[in-house]
Structure 1
Amino acid sequence: MNFGEAINELKHGNAVARKGWNGNGIYIKLQKPDENSFMTHEYVYIDTTGLRTNNPNAPMDRVPWLASQTDMLADDWVVVE
């Protein structure tokens, strides 16, 4: 799946990831603000809380995400269950 298709999946509420990303358990998702949100517009975040790695210093967070050119041009996007 290409980046445009991945964005479409995000808009439909699905999480997506790249096969080429280092580590398993990483995905991105679209956050839609609700009445409890500080944000007023949708944004994409990356979730690494489920990262499976041997690196004890790897971040396990949810933070806003920006695509790199490599991510935008990749064709290895998949929907994450």
Structure 2
Amino acid sequence: MNFGQAIEALKAGQMVQRQGWNGKGMHIYLEQGRHLPLSAGIEKGTTRIYDPVICMYTAQGTHQPGWLASQADILAEDWQTVDG
């Protein structure tokens, strides 16, 4: 699928990846906005509101918020959904 279709799949709650990504298990997903109460610091006791963000599950097994597409990613036709 193309990048536009991959974005639509993200919006529908699916995870997607490029067929060409060679890192084990790498994929991206849409993290919906969150409301998190702060338990420390100057804003302790307040709630921080986060907007939705595209996150990447990395080859190292971590979650990286704020993934940005490269021009190659945007023009690629090898996007696919991920089971799981």
Q: Which runs of 4+ in 1 moved over 3 A?
A: none
In structure 1, what is the Cα distance between the partners aligned to 2:51 and 2:30?
Answer: 10
Number of residues paired by the alignment? 72
Q: So what's the TM-score if we normalise by structure 1?
A: 0.79
Structure 2, unpaired ranges of 5+: 38-47
Q: Quote the RMSD (CA, aligned, Å).
A: 1.6
Question: By how many angstroms is 1:34 displaced?
Answer: 2.5
Structure 1, unpaired ranges of 5+: 52-58
Partner of residue 41, structure 2: none
Q: What is the aligned counterpart of 1:72 among 61, 71, 74?
A: 74
Structure 2 residue matching 1:44: 3-state secondary structure: strand
In structure 2, what is the Cα distance between the partners aligned to 1:66 and 1:35?
Answer: 23
Higher strand share: 2
Question: By how many angstroms is 1:60 displaced?
Answer: 2.9
1:40 and 2:20 aligned:
no
